[in-house]
Amino acid sequence: MKRHIENSRILITGGAGFIGSNLAEKLLGQNNKVTVLDNFSTGKRENLRPFEQNPNFRLIEGDIRDLEICREAVRDVDCVLHEAALGSVPRSVKDPMTSTAVNILGFVNMLYAAQEAKIRRFVYASSSSVYGNSPVLPKTEDAIGKPLSPYAITKYADELFAENFHELYGIDTVGLRFFNVFGRRQDPAGAYAAVIPKFMQCLMRHERPVINGDGSFSRDFTFVENVVQAHELALLAENPEALNQVYNVAFGERTSLNELFAYLREELSAFDPEISLIEPVYSAERPGDVPHSLADIGKAEKLLGYTPEYSVREGLKRAAAWYWSNLK
């Protein structure tokens, strides 16, 4: 089974972001022509610098809320990887209007432009947040609960639109529900930074990271290379049963925040022994945080051939080396 896509013309929306830029790097390295559409509201220009001189790379600076920009972006491409969104549950609680406009209107614009242009495959980022208040572990794709945030609602709405557009217009889509993705180029700054880069930055500055709750909460942390693999497999899938589906994309293992902190401290201590002496600070639980998250990745294994290559420990080792080189 073919596992790497080559010689294709691919649009990556949100390509200046964390996941998008990792996708761009991989796909350009496999002789694909890559167009990135980004408005740089959260994406970073420096994430695209390594590709600027590549003749197979094209940048369109624009907003997915503008249908004409979306139409321009899908011109002369075969496939779309739709990563553009306003992430973060807290951000969506603070400003649900913008999250809804970007994540739903922007998504529908992109999907509509793609079907107009007869795009072969539309792969899009969904989220484990769609599982909401469902207490069932591990999470399986067909058992979701009530969404707990505007962000979760936007991602679930996107899945419904994708299914509906396939039925109405015949466009083939694949949705990927990401679980706590981490890796190089994930931004540690700002109010909505994810836990791993935030912890890394604190430790590198000899500051004590804050753990919400007692550290027993757990997540299915997923190294970004596994997520890149899932995108490639979604683009390559030929079995009709594999298309117009949503899939969990994770490693399939739970790591508590206390374990995560210990792993990160150990990895970074290899660069700076003083880091080994740092202890976390424990504070109140965040309202709305679910205690545990764990994915069942059996569906992606069966229908896409997804086999996550990097464990949490291996991913953290690679991420720590990248942050040490790039944030110091």
Give the number of other CB atoms < 10 A from CB of residue 61: 12
Q: How far is CA 296 from CA 95, 177, 191, 257, 300, in A?
A: 32, 11, 30, 20, 9
Selection from 49, 30, 38 nearest residue 12 by Cα = 38
Could you tell me which residues come within 8 angstroms of residue 2 by beta carbon, excluding any fewer than 6 positions away? 236
323 is catalytic: no
Q: Which two tokens stand for residue 83?
A: 């990563």
Catalytic entry in 124, 151, 247, 306: 151
Pairing of strands 79-82, 9-13: parallel
The C-alpha atoms of residue 42 and residue 39 are separated, in whole angstroms, by 8
Judge whether 138 and 295 are in contact, CB under 8 Å. yes
**H or E element at residue 121:** strand 121-127
Give the number of other CB atoms < 10 A from CB of residue 205: 12
Judge whether 126 and 158 are in contact, CB under 8 Å. yes
CA angle 289, 130, 20 (to 5 degrees): 95
Catalytic residue positions, numbered: 151
